[in-house]
Amino acid sequence: MKVCLVTGGAGFIGSHLCEALLNKGHYVICVDNFFTGRKKNILHLMDNKNFEVIRHDIIDELLIECDWIFNFACPASPVHYQYNAIKTIKTSVLGALNMLGLAKRVKARIMQASTSEVYGDPTVHPQKESYWGNVNPIGIRSCYDEGKRVAETLFMDYHRQNKVDIKIIRIFNTYGPRMLENDGRVVSNFIVQALKGEDITVYGEGKQTRSFCYVDDLINGIIKMMEVDNFTGPVNLGNPDEFEIIELAKIVIEMTNSKSKIVYKELPADDPKQRRPDITLAKEKLGWEPKVKLREGLKKTIEYFENELKNHSS
Ligand code: NAD
Ligand code: UDP
């Protein structure tokens, strides 16, 4: 049994991770400031004797004993991370420094939830870990992209300089139950709009691409990465099936039998034109690849939002 600290543990991915770690027999300390996380996401874990929650902001120091640290605290939706850009940078940079300091002190293994955004608007396709990226340092996405890039640098420097046992995963667009209804990210936006019969808001012409990974697949990859020895990463974790955003809109409309119409809105600045992970390294080092096809994952996510919307109206 490992004592696991999960920062951002009340968020979308973090809550699934806490659950999976508990199911594997580990002890889990969930740390969250509840900016985009919710008590509701972890309510079902509260009675578990191996689970505890601390309301804490990782830009401040935390003193705790643990074996594994999963540093997942950071808003991930462009709407949320741009809401307070300076706070987002502080979370990524000061948060990484605090968590790395903790890992160094207690000799814990520590994982950073990095992102495909470190590749920016990529000029290499699909994206391999060896690609350094094409990131605007002064744009509206920079608080997130550059924050995550600095965090990766800090992780590598703590590893080289202080022998901290680090892991870096680069997560590509992940979706599933427990995303916020007003999250702003494309999968939750389209599903909620379709279920409410509202217009589906496609930004730009919808020709930009993303590759969507169902959350259960991602969680398996995260745990495999944490368990493996002698491999720091960075490693891409994502689903290599690539879709245009307009295709996603049509699939969601079809699967929800919605009468919603597609409307086209302005494309936000620096929106990456294409994104698909090369997962050769994850396959080789972790024996991992995603199993859940888009329609299968969307079905589960649609069911989740149907229930959420029903509960609101009752
Ligand atoms: P999320 O917004 O649902 O979860 C983030 C969690 O971190 C929330 O519970 C939030 O309250 C908490 N948090 C934010 N700032 C904090 C702070 N300063 N101190 C303590 N807690 C704080 O997002 P998510 O999709 O679950 O993403 C989790 C992690 O995975 C993030 O680090 C994100 O950058 C990374 N990631 C996610 C995706 C994706 O597609 N979901 C892709 C790439 C990377
Ligand atoms: N997008 C869209 N309509 C929406 C939300 C997002 O067309 O209502 C587009 C967005 O412009 C981007 C893609 O969908 O090209 C994925 O956006 P998301 O915010 O989910 O994540 P990103 O990968 O851009 O961080």
Does ligand 2 have an atom closer than 6 angstroms to the CB of 245? yes
In whole angstroms, what is the distance from residue 99 CA to residue 97 CA? Answer: 6
Contact 241, 203 (CB under 8 A): no
Tell me, using a 6 A CB cutoff, whether residue 191 lines ligand 2: no
Query: pTM for the complete prediction?
Result: 0.98
Closest CA to 120 of 136, 131, 108: 136
Name which residue sits closest to atom 4 of ligand 2, judged by CA.
Answer: 186
- Looking at residue 311, its pLDDT comes to 87
Around ligand 1, the residues with Cβ closer than 6 Å are 7-8, 10-14, 32-37, 57-59, 72-76, 91, 95, 113, 115, 171, 173-174
Question: Any idea which ligand is nearest the CA of 268?
Answer: 2
Q: What is the pLDDT of residue 188?
A: 97
**73 alpha carbon to ligand 1 midpoint, in Å?**
5
* Given the residues 27, 119, 144, 214, the one annotated as active site: 144
Whole-number Å distance between alpha carbons of 239 and 140: 26
Measured from the Cα of 15, ligand 1's closest atom is 26
Q: Give per-10-residue mean pLDDT for the chain (314 aa).
A: 98 98 98 97 98 98 97 96 97 98 98 98 97 98 98 98 98 98 95 98 98 98 98 98 98 98 96 97 98 98 96 76
Residue 45 CA to residue 225 CA, distance in Å, equals 24
pLDDT at 312: 79
- Counting from 1 in the atom list of ligand 1, the atom nearest the Cα of 116 is 43
Mutation pick for ligand 1 pocket among 5, 6, 7, 13 (CB with most ligand atoms within 8 Å): 13
Q: Enumerate the β-bridge partners of residue 32.
A: 55
Q: pLDDT at position 113, please?
A: 98
Q: Is 144 a catalytic residue?
A: yes
What percent of the chain shows pLDDT beyond 70?
A: 100
- Distances in Å between the Cα of 41 and the Cα atoms of 62, 111, 238 are 23, 22, 23
Spatial contact of 252 and 190, defined as CB atoms under 8 Å apart = yes
Evaluate whether 294 touches 245 at the Cβ level (below 8 Å).
no
Q: Which domains does the chain have, with CATH numbers?
A: 3-175+213-237 (3.40.50.720), 186-209+241-276+292-313 (3.90.25.10)
Q: Which atom of ligand 1 is nearest to the CA of 91?
A: 18
| Cα–Cα distance list, 246 to 5, 117, 232, 253 (Å) | 39, 21, 36, 11
DSSP per-residue letters across 266-312: PPPTT--S---B--HHHHHHH-------HHHHHHHHHHHHHHHHHHH
185 C-beta closer than 6 A to ligand 2: yes
pLDDT computed for residue 28 by the predictor: 98
Q: Which residue lies with its CA nearest to atom 12 of ligand 2? A: 271
The bound ligand whose nearest atom lies closest to the alpha carbon of 148 is 1
